[in-house]
Amino acid sequence: MKKIAILSCQMIRGQNLCPADTRCFIALSRKEGEFERYKNEEVCLLGIINCGGCEGNRNRAICSLVLLKRELSAFKENIDALHIGTCIMKFCPRKDDIIAAVKEKAGIEVVEGTHKYAPPTIFGN
Ligand code: SF4
């Protein structure tokens, strides 16, 4: 079984702009978007962490990873892959810096993206 976690945008989650993280959960349950890679195996989401906020820097995201690791270790768990949330991929002006830091420090596979449900335009077809 593949065990994964998601790194999300604190601002989007904190302001409830992505209610209940539903898009990621639906994509995972359907194995769509960047979760399609797990279509032939079981996958389990063990946590959703956030970047630490716009006022922070790349180290805040790394702190989130450290805290996740500690929490997982308490239960003798670990993750095989970390997904960068679509919220970060699409909307974060600091995403390149955050992703570079995460890839440098994670020590596991880092996948850029989760769901693909964000529409390309707001009012267009
Ligand atoms: S730094 Fe990027 S990912 Fe983090 S809260 Fe700000 S916009 Fe969201």
The answer to the question of residue 25 being in a domain is yes
The answer to the question of residue 119 being in a domain is no
The answer to the question of residue 123 being in a domain is no
Q: What is the distance between the alpha carbons of residues 40 and 10, in angstroms, rounded to a whole number?
A: 31
pLDDT at 57: 74
10 Cα–ligand 1 center, Å: 6
Could you list the beta-strand ranges (E) of the chain.
2-8, 43-50, 81-84, 109-112
- The number of domains in the chain is 1
Range of the domain at 81: 2-112
How much is the pTM? 0.96
Pocket probe for ligand 1: among 6, 9, 65, 102, the residue whose CB has the most ligand atoms within 8 Å is: 9
The answer to the question of residue 122 being in a domain is no
The answer to the question of residue 104 being in a domain is yes
Q: What's phi and psi for 84, nearest 5 deg?
A: -85, 120
Whether residue 11 has its Cβ less than 6 Å from ligand 1: yes
Q: Tell the residue nearest (CA) to atom 6 of ligand 1.
A: 54
Per the document, the length of the chain is 125
pLDDT in single tens digits along all 125 residues of the chain: 999 999 999 999 999 999 999 999 999 999 999 999 999 999 999 999 999 999 877 889 999 999 999 999 999 999 999 999 999 999 999 999 999 999 999 999 999 999 999 998 999 87
Q: Is the distance from CB of 13 to CB of 52 less than 8 angstroms?
A: no
